[in-house]
Chain A
């Protein structure tokens, strides 16, 4: 037989919080929990990236294991007995969240992270007023995006998005060690001198606002960021024939962020510089003397500019 037949994945049976669940072999504990509707917090996990298994907020109890195990990267095997709640699991998750909050600024983190900080009862202040914190200058080297590593939780997602999981550009990596580890270009050179091609895929995966469009950064810093006045418009990137879906995030009709859906079959959430940052022309309507957008003219003008 020469027709490739997909190999059916064997099923294994595991117990999640006492309930038996069938799961495809090779899936992770997290996959099974999600199917079962059990929430497991995650920070360094992303749908489009092989988990690096670093934040450890997703730990669960596995019968027979001396330590807790990370749900995001541990694959299920037959007969696993998993507990996702209980004091032991909650204690470690609370501490992971609290340790992060004690060392970096999470005020712009994803809504889920902020919710978990509350739900798990974290108290970062008990680590004292003199505790070491991540302290980095805001890196603003151009008008496209800002790197604000005071907010970075070292989830490695930007590194992987820039590297083998999407972009294959390898402009950034983790440098240094321990608490001094930072996301960095070589010798911390500014982005235009690095290998960066401004695809913005690192921004797309950053869960904390450490990587952020310059426009959004300015809006937030000025206190003018207003979710009430915002909209998301789905469209298709006009630049080439690939046809990436774009989500234009606007406030008062001005684009401050561009994303692509994680589950989009072409992009998996990733874009190139044109789709990500090439939105200047869309603001053309506000140029002096114009009242209505005229895409055709705008394009002509921008290409002759």
Chain B
């Protein structure tokens, strides 16, 4: 263990925060005993959050004290704290407004460049930080207020910085949710009170758990496999295969993890599910845990989703109170419980192995695969990790049966799919449509202009689609055949007046900012790509820049560790192929 040079003492306020999260320091007499306490490193990120919320930053003294209590080396804890955009290691204003300047917000008529905003709340200075997509593209222009201190708060707001500072207690506008076909995933949203377990049950809630318990895990595994459910987090991996692998593991200790880190620019459908139907996720996770033999599950929610977090925590508490979680789930004699973990502003933590590292108290750097999470996952144990939307399909499948599920969608892409449609459309919102609906139909539903300037499918990691692609049926197989991707289901629309070069440049900046920095192709490649696009747009392109962009695409796609690097050149490449950047250099 590191030797510990002394630093000053933490303030009483810092000590109070730490007492409340990690308890007291081990007795010095105890700590001389060889046997160490259980590994509590996974409390690092929650503790850093607590200091950020309570004090406004993480001071050297507080970090040293925290490290002593958790037995984590200071340098490593500092490495963790500096990884995240929502944690600060320098003193500053206690209120910070994060202003989304990402793809959907920056084309909104109400958008104001955060650089133009001075931060003051009355006398008090306020930090104004530009932010990547806040997952509220349907409520553009989006802001997120982070306030520390005794009146600590996290708020999501639409409008301006001044409005955000005045927005204390303002209610969020209900999201637009449209189903064209069975409303399997969205049926309760806006209809059922998301804070009421009774109402959830009255609308079919917890019937699937009962069914699952009656069927037994083996039959549930078969049903999920037969349903053909594929992951909605981007990789479209068959869920049944994942569950089966963990259920069949020789190791007893296993985990189920819900990936609710939704940070792909343009994507907000998981937020709408979490906020609008939280009990459904709790029920789905319970079924997943009991089916694969995990006693503990985690829901990792991005830090910019305070309402979602609050609703899920509340739902978990209610479920536990009613015996639907805990040591005897619904009288089955089986044990399963859930815990919520909060992300801290890092897109990469949505990558499943980076998520594990983040949750365990390490930097959110992806691990090399293989081994895959089903073998070596959270805390080194076999782990099922699924996207929020994927999990929401589980009760649907158990309720209508695999065959009933397959009655909607296509053979390779059964069921319905949620799309987050935003940008220049009259109805930004979440659209639940059967797989196989064409892109054109979806755009029409959402009120897109008849001939948009560009449509981005799959967010920053996705592709711009050509006008001719509106006939493509939205299924995993059809988009693959057309060299496109569904990705996270984001559909961002830009009208003819939008400056697509500006959008492309923002996307390259996104990857530059969000690269974890671990591998060279992505750490340096995303910077060079951004620089080349900036040159192109400012009319100072160099003769070899086309080749340069191709070479960067090659090395990032082929030699990066994870999907972030693999897709970092995707949108740029499609924009170049479609000629969306032509003439960009002509601008002054």
Interface residues in chain A, defined as those with a beta carbon under 8 Å from any beta carbon in chain B = 53-57, 59, 67-68, 70, 73, 88, 91-92, 95-96, 99-100, 102-103, 126-128, 130-132, 153-154, 163, 168-181, 184-187, 189, 193-195, 197
Contact A128 B531 (CB under 8 A): yes
- Residues in A with CB closer than 8 Å to B3 are 169, 195, 197
Contact A177 B515 (CB under 8 A): yes
Contact B78 A184 (CB under 8 A): yes
- Residues in A with CB closer than 8 Å to B528 are 99, 102, 127, 131
Given contacts A154-B517, A194-B5, contact A176 B555 (CB under 8 A): no
- Residues in B with CB closer than 8 Å to A131 are 527-528, 531
Contact A179 B554 (CB under 8 A): no
Q: Which of B78, B79, B523 contacts A179 (CB 8 A)?
A: B523
Contact B523 A178 (CB under 8 A): yes
Q: Which of A73, A174, A194 contacts B368 (CB 8 A)?
A: A73
Given contacts A184-B79, A195-B3, contact A177 B517 (CB under 8 A): yes
User: Which residues of chain B from 522 to 573 have any CB-CB distance to chain A below 8 Å in the complex?
Assistant: 523-528, 531, 535, 542, 544, 548, 551-552, 554-555, 557-561, 566
Contact A171 B89 (CB under 8 A): no
- Residues in B with CB closer than 8 Å to A57 are 520
Question: Is B124 at the interface (CB under 8 A from chain A)?
Answer: no
Shortest Cβ distance from residue A287 to the other chain B in the assembled complex, whole angstroms: 34
Interface of B (DSSP majority class)? helix
- CA gap between A176 and B517 in the complex, in Å: 9
Question: Is B209 at the interface (CB under 8 A from chain A)?
Answer: no
- Residues in A with CB closer than 8 Å to B75 are 170-173, 175, 184-186, 194-195
User: Which residues of chain B from 72 to 100 have any CB-CB distance to chain A below 8 Å in the complex?
Assistant: 73-79, 82-83, 89
- Residues in B with CB closer than 8 Å to A95 are 521, 525, 551-552, 554-555, 559
- CA gap between A143 and B563 in the complex, in Å: 44
Contact A127 B548 (CB under 8 A): yes
Question: Is B514 at the interface (CB under 8 A from chain A)?
Answer: yes
The 10 closest A-B pairs by CB, nearest first: A170-B73, A181-B517, A95-B555, A195-B2, A99-B524, A173-B79, A186-B74, A186-B78, A92-B559, A173-B75
Q: Which of B524, B555, B566 contacts A103 (CB 8 A)?
A: B524
Shortest Cβ distance from residue B61 to the other chain A in the assembled complex, whole angstroms: 10
- Residues in A with CB closer than 8 Å to B514 are 178
Given contacts A67-B557, A91-B555, A92-B521, contact A178 B526 (CB under 8 A): yes
Question: Is B518 at the interface (CB under 8 A from chain A)?
Answer: yes
- Residues in A with CB closer than 8 Å to B515 are 177-179
Question: Is B175 at the interface (CB under 8 A from chain A)?
Answer: no
Q: Which of B535, B555, B566 contacts A99 (CB 8 A)?
A: B555
- Residues in A with CB closer than 8 Å to B143 are none
Given contacts A92-B554, A99-B528, A127-B548, contact A170 B2 (CB under 8 A): yes
Contact A153 B5 (CB under 8 A): no
- CA gap between A128 and B534 in the complex, in Å: 12
Given contacts A73-B368, A184-B79, contact A54 B520 (CB under 8 A): yes
Contact A102 B78 (CB under 8 A): no
- CA gap between A131 and B545 in the complex, in Å: 13
Contact A186 B542 (CB under 8 A): no
Contact A175 B78 (CB under 8 A): yes
- CA gap between A70 and B368 in the complex, in Å: 9
Contact B521 A56 (CB under 8 A): yes
- CA gap between A99 and B515 in the complex, in Å: 15
- CA gap between A169 and B78 in the complex, in Å: 15
Q: Which of A102, A153, A184, A187 contacts B60 (CB 8 A)?
A: A187
Contact with A along B1-24 (1 / 0, CB 8 A): 111110000000000000000000
Shortest Cβ distance from residue A79 to the other chain B in the assembled complex, whole angstroms: 15
Closest to B4 in A: A195
- Residues in B with CB closer than 8 Å to A179 are 512, 515, 517, 523-524, 526-527
Question: Is B519 at the interface (CB under 8 A from chain A)?
Answer: yes
Contact A154 B523 (CB under 8 A): yes
- Most chain-B Cβ atoms within 10 A of its Cβ — which of A53, A73, A177, A193? A177
- CA gap between A95 and B517 in the complex, in Å: 16
Closest to A153 in B: B520
Question: Is B63 at the interface (CB under 8 A from chain A)?
Answer: yes
Question: Is B516 at the interface (CB under 8 A from chain A)?
Answer: yes
- CA gap between A95 and B1 in the complex, in Å: 39
Contact A195 B531 (CB under 8 A): no
- CA gap between A95 and B547 in the complex, in Å: 12
Shortest Cβ distance from residue A94 to the other chain B in the assembled complex, whole angstroms: 8
Contact A68 B73 (CB under 8 A): no
Contact A55 B519 (CB under 8 A): yes
Shortest Cβ distance from residue B303 to the other chain A in the assembled complex, whole angstroms: 15
Contact B527 A132 (CB under 8 A): yes
CB<8 Å pairs between A and B, sample of 17:
A56-B521, A67-B557, A67-B566, A95-B521, A99-B528, A99-B555, A102-B524, A131-B527, A131-B528, A154-B518, A168-B1, A177-B516, A179-B515, A179-B524, A181-B518, A187-B89, A195-B5
Question: Is B513 at the interface (CB under 8 A from chain A)?
Answer: yes
- Residues in A with CB closer than 8 Å to B551 are 91, 95
Closest to A162 in B: B75
Q: Which of B5, B77, B82 contacts A177 (CB 8 A)?
A: B82
Closest to A129 in B: B542
Contact A53 B368 (CB under 8 A): yes
Contact A56 B517 (CB under 8 A): no
Shortest Cβ distance from residue A290 to the other chain B in the assembled complex, whole angstroms: 37
Closest to A188 in B: B78
Given contacts A99-B524, A170-B75, A195-B3, contact A178 B559 (CB under 8 A): no
- CA gap between A73 and B526 in the complex, in Å: 24
Contact B524 A186 (CB under 8 A): no
Contact B525 A170 (CB under 8 A): no
- Residues in B with CB closer than 8 Å to A67 are 557-560, 566
Contact B346 A177 (CB under 8 A): yes
- CA gap between A245 and B520 in the complex, in Å: 35
Q: A92-B554, A184-B78 are in contact. List 20 more A-B contacts (CB 8 A).
A: A53-B519, A57-B520, A67-B559, A73-B368, A91-B551, A91-B554, A92-B521, A95-B521, A96-B559, A100-B520, A103-B527, A127-B531, A170-B2, A173-B79, A175-B78, A178-B513, A185-B74, A186-B74, A193-B5, A195-B73
- CA gap between A96 and B565 in the complex, in Å: 13
Shortest Cβ distance from residue A150 to the other chain B in the assembled complex, whole angstroms: 14
Contact A171 B525 (CB under 8 A): no
Shortest Cβ distance from residue B163 to the other chain A in the assembled complex, whole angstroms: 30
- Residues in A with CB closer than 8 Å to B60 are 186-187, 189
- CA gap between A231 and B480 in the complex, in Å: 61
- CA gap between A152 and B560 in the complex, in Å: 19
- Residues in A with CB closer than 8 Å to B525 are 95, 99
- Residues in A with CB closer than 8 Å to B512 are 178-179
Question: Is B392 at the interface (CB under 8 A from chain A)?
Answer: no
Shortest Cβ distance from residue B560 to the other chain A in the assembled complex, whole angstroms: 7
- CA gap between A229 and B561 in the complex, in Å: 43
Closest to B524 in A: A99
Shortest Cβ distance from residue A117 to the other chain B in the assembled complex, whole angstroms: 13
- Most chain-A Cβ atoms within 10 A of its Cβ — which of B77, B78, B79, B525? B79
Question: Is B363 at the interface (CB under 8 A from chain A)?
Answer: yes
Contact A56 B531 (CB under 8 A): no
Shortest Cβ distance from residue B237 to the other chain A in the assembled complex, whole angstroms: 13
- CA gap between A153 and B519 in the complex, in Å: 10
- Residues in B with CB closer than 8 Å to A70 are 368
- Residues in A with CB closer than 8 Å to B535 are 128
Q: Which of A53, A130, A173, A180 contacts B76 (CB 8 A)?
A: A173
Given contacts A56-B560, A59-B558, A176-B83, contact A126 B520 (CB under 8 A): no
Shortest Cβ distance from residue A194 to the other chain B in the assembled complex, whole angstroms: 7
Given contacts A131-B531, A172-B75, A178-B523, contact A54 B82 (CB under 8 A): no
Shortest Cβ distance from residue A41 to the other chain B in the assembled complex, whole angstroms: 12
Contact A186 B63 (CB under 8 A): yes
- CA gap between A188 and B89 in the complex, in Å: 11
